[in-house]
Amino acid sequence: ALHCTRAMMYLTEYLGCAMVLSPAQVRMTLLQLFLHAADISNPTKPFESCKAWANRVLDEFFAQGDLEKAQNIPVQMLNDRNTVSRPHSQIGFLEFLVAPLFLLQVARDAGSIPGSDN
Half-sphere exposure of 33 (CA within 13 A, CB side): 24
Residue 39 assigned as binding residue:
yes
Cβ-contact 36, 1 below 8 angstroms: yes
Q: Using only C-alpha atoms, what is the Rg of the chain?
A: 17
Single-letter amino acid, residue 69: K
DSSP string, 17-62: HTTTS-HHHHHHHHHHHHHHHHHT-GGGS-HHHHHHHHHHHHHHHH
Residues placed in the known binding site for Zn(2+): 39
Residues placed in the known binding site: 39
